[in-house]
Structure 1
Amino acid sequence: MSDTQEHAAAKARGGKLGLVLLLATVACVGIFVIWGVWRAAFPPLPPFQGQMEGRTISISSKVPGRVKEVLVEAGESVRAGQVVARMHLPEIEAKLAEARARDRAAEAQQSMVDEGLRPQEKQAAHAEWERAQAAADLDRKTYDRIAALFRDGLVSRERHDEARARMLASADQAAAAKQAYDLAQAGSRPQEKAAASAETSEAAAVVSEVASLADDVELKAPHAGEVDKVVLVAGELAGAGFPVLTVVNLDDQWASFNIREESLPGITVGHVFKARVPALGRDGIDFKVYYISPRASYATWRSTREDSGYDMKTFEVRARPVEKIEGLRPGMTVLVDRER
C-alpha cells in the first residue's frame, strides 16, 4: 500500500473516531440534562431529623431544707440506691424526737392498762375486803344476840334497830370491798385496753410518718444512670419537691421526630426504619416506632381558604433503637432518609 493510501485510511479512521466521540459527548450531555430536569422536577426529600431523648428523673426532698453536701458531679455514673446528696433538716429531726417520746409514753400507758394494778395494790384491796367482811360478820352476830334479847323483852327497840342498821351497813361495805377487789383482779376494762392500744398505734404511725420524712436527709438515686445536672449546691435552700439534681437513665432512650401528617403514611406503631447518627458516624441503625401522637401546640385543626387546602397537623413520633447502641446519648441527632 502506498503512502497516499495509508494516509487516506488513517484519515478515515480518525473521522470515525471523532464522530464516535462527538456522539458520546452529545449522549452524556443529554443524559446530564435529563437527569438535571428530573432532579429539578423531583428533588430529593429532606430526611426526617430527630433527637435522642432519655428518661430523666429529678431527685428532690419531700420537705424543705438546706443542702448539706452534694456527693456527685454532672456526668458521673451512679448506681441504684447510691447516696448522691445530703440535706440538713433540723425541724424534722426535732419532730422525730418528739414523736418517738410520745410513742414511748403511749406504750408505757398501754402496759399499765394491760397489767392493771400492781401486786401491792391488789393485796391492799384484798386486805380491805377481809377487814370489811370481818366487821360485817361481827355486826351480824351482834345483831343476832340483840334480836334474841329483844324478843325476850330485855332490850329496847331503839337498841335493836341500831344493831340492825349497823349490820346492814357493814354488809354493804363488805360487798363494796369485794367488788373493788374483783376489779383489781380483773384489771382494766376492754374499752380502756382498746383505747390505749389505739393511742399506741397512732403514736407509732406518727413516728413512721416523721421517720419517712427524716429519711430524706440522704437523697438516693432511684436507678442506675448518669448525673445530668446539679441544680443546687451545698448551702442553698431547697423547697419541697424542688430538684437538687437530675439523673438520666441511659438504658431508656428514644428518638423523637416532629412529622407533618402528609408524611405519616407508612409510619405506624411497630414500624422499623433505618437511621443514621452523625455523632457516632454510624448508619443503618434500626429504630422501632412505639408512640405517635399529635403535638399539643398543633393539635387543633384550623381551616384555611377552601381553594388553597387546609392546615396540616404535626405529630410527635417516638422510636427506640432495636438494640442497645454503645455511645448513644440524649441530644444526639438522628436522621432518617426518605424515599418517594
Structure 2
Amino acid sequence: MTESTNESDDSRKLDDSDPSTESSNTDNEQVPIEPVVDVTDIGQEQTVPSYKRDSAKTDKSAMIKKAILALLVLIILGAIAYGLYKSNQHNEPEIITLQGQMQMQQTSIAAKVPGRIAKIMVTEGDAVTVGQQLIEMDSPEINAKINQARAGKQMAQSQLDKAENGARPQEIAQAKAAWQANKAASDLAENTYQRVNRLYEEGLMARQKRDEAYAQYLATQDQTEAARLQYELAMEGARSEDKSAATAQVAQVDAQLEEALVAKEEANLKSPIAGVVDTVIVNAGEVIGQGVPLLTLVNTNEQWVVLNVTETYLNQFAIGQRFTGTIPALSSPEKPYTKQFTVYATSTLSDFATWRPTNNDDGFDVRTFEVKARPTAPDRRIRSGMSVVVRINPALVNQTQE
C-alpha cells in the first residue's frame, strides 16, 4: 500500500509538472476534459495590447509636435509677410480722401404785398420756366387801390383839359360885357368929376362934392381895369404854370395807378428763373404778409462743389485746375459716378478752421481754404447737399512742390 500511495503521489506530481503527459494520458484514457490554455499564450496576449497603446501614444505625441512645429513655421512666415506688407505700405504713399458738398443756386420766392393764397399752381420737383405763374393770390385791398387811382386819374385829366382848352365862349363874352360896362361907368364918373371940378373952381360947388366925384371916378377906373384883365385872362386861357401843374397831377395819378396794377401783378407770383421747385412752404388759403418766403426754386444749371482743403494740398486746387470727384448718391456698386470739376474760386476760412501745433517742434499753423469748383457739364440729377469724394495722391503733391 505504501508503494501504491507513492506511485499515486508521483503520478500527481508528474501530472502537474508535465502537461504533455497529462494530455497523452487524457488521450489514452479518452476522457472528455475542458481544453487547457497555455500560460505562455495568455501572457503574450496580455502583453500585445499594452504595446499597442504605447505605440499609439507615441504616434499622437509625434503628430502634436509636428503640428506645433508647422504652426510655429506659419506664424514666422506670417510675421515675415506682415513685415514686408508694412514695409511696402510705408514705401507707397497713402491716398488722401477729401469730402465736399454739392450746392446749387437757390431763389426764395416771397410776396411783395400781403394777401390770401388762392391757388398754388406747382408742386415740389416741378420744372418751371421764366415767367411761369407759381401762386395766385386774392387781395381786395389791391383792387380798391386800383379803383381809387383810376378815379383820381379822371379828375386830374379833366383839370388838365380845362387848362389846355381855356374858358368857354360864353365865359369870354360875359367877361367882355363886364369890362364894357365898367368902362362906361368909368367914363361917366370921369365926366361927372370934370363938371363938379369946374363948378368948384367957380365957387358954385362945395369941395366935399368935388372929392366925392373924384373918388367915384378913381373907383370906376379900377373896376374897369379889373374887368379888362378878366376878359384878357378868359381870352388867353390858363397860364403855362397851371398847365404844367395839371400835367404833373395827371402823371402822379398815372404812377399810382401803375403801382396798384403792378401790385396786382406781383400778387400772382411768377418764376424769375428757370429751374426746379425745391420746397413749397405755404398752403392754399393761408394769409401771408409782405416779404414772407412762399417757396424755393433751384437753378440746376448753376452747380458747384465746396471743399475745405488745408494749404498743404492747396496747390492741387489752383484756379482753373481740374480734378475728378465721385458722387456716392448717384453711384452704384458696379459703376461709380464720377464728375470732372474746374476750380473757379478759393478763399480762406476763419481762424477757427486753423490747425495749430501743440509745440514749437510741430511746425507752423496750417490754414484751411474753401475751394469752389463747377462741373464741366451740369447734371439735373444732382441736388444740393450731395457728397463729393475727391482723392489726392501725396506723391503728386510732392512733385508739384518740387
Tell me which interval the TM-score lies in, with the shorter structure as reference length.
Answer: 0.7 to 0.9
Could you report, residue by residue, the CA deviation over 1:182-224 in whole angstroms, capped at 9, with x for unpaired residues? 1222333444344434433333333333433332211111111
C-alpha deviations, 1:47-92, integer Å up to 9, x for none? 2222221101001102333222211000011111100111222333
- Say if 1:132 and 1:339 are closer, same or farther in 2 by CA, change over 3 A: same
Aligned residue in 1 for 2:261: 211
CA distance in structure 2 between the aligned counterparts of 1:192 and 1:269, rounded to whole angstroms: 64
CA distance in structure 2 between the partners assigned to 1:338 and 1:91 by the alignment: 61
| CA distance in structure 1 between the partners assigned to 2:135 and 2:305 by the alignment | 31
Change (3 A) 1:149 1:333: closer
Q: 2:231 aligns with which of 149, 162, 181?
A: 181
What displacement does 1:275 show? 2.3
d(CA) in 2 for partners of 1:202, 1:338: 65
Matched, 1:292 2:340: no
Please show how residues 115-126 of structure 1 align to structure 2 within 5 Å: 115-126=165-176
Alignment partner, residue 316 of structure 1: 370
Partner of 1:333: 387
Aligned amino acid, residue 169 of structure 2: P
Partner of 2:33: none
C-alpha change, 1:213 and 1:310, in structure 2 (3 Å) is: farther
Separation of aligned partners in 2, 1:97 and 1:31: 92
- Tell me whether 1:95 sits opposite 2:141 in the alignment: no
State the partner residue of 1:229: 279
Percent sequence identity is 37
Distance 1:101 1:313, change over 3 A: farther
SS of 1:240's partner is coil
Distance 1:87 1:315 in 2: 45
| Letter in structure 2 aligned against 1:57 | T
What is the 5 A alignment of 1:70-89? 70-89=120-139
Larger Rg: 2
RMSD of aligned alpha carbons: 3.6
Alignment partners' CA distance in 1, 2:348 and 2:201: 117
Of structures 1 and 2, the one scoring higher in RCO (CA 8 A, sep 6+) is 1
Per-residue deviation, residues 84-130 of structure 1 (Å, max 9, x unmatched): 11122233333333333333333333333344433322221111112
Q: 2:327 aligns with which of 277, 298, 304?
A: 277
- Pick closer, same or farther for the CA change 1:283–1:37 going to 2, 3 Å: farther
What displacement does 1:259 show? Answer: 1.9
Query: What is the CA-CA distance between 1:243 and the residue it aligns to?
Result: 1.4
The residue that corresponds to 2:205 in the other structure is: 157
In structure 1, C-alpha distance between the alignment counterparts of 2:266 and 2:123, rounded to whole Å: 20
Q: Identify the structure with the greater helix proportion.
A: 2
**Is residue 247 of structure 2 the alignment partner of residue 247 of structure 1?**
no
CA distance in 1, matches of 2:367, 2:143: 54
Whether the aligned pair in 1 keeps the contact of 2:300 and 2:378 (CA below 8 Å) is no
Preserved contact between residue 292 and residue 318 of structure 1 (Cα < 8 Å): yes
Q: Aligned residue for 1:263?
A: 313
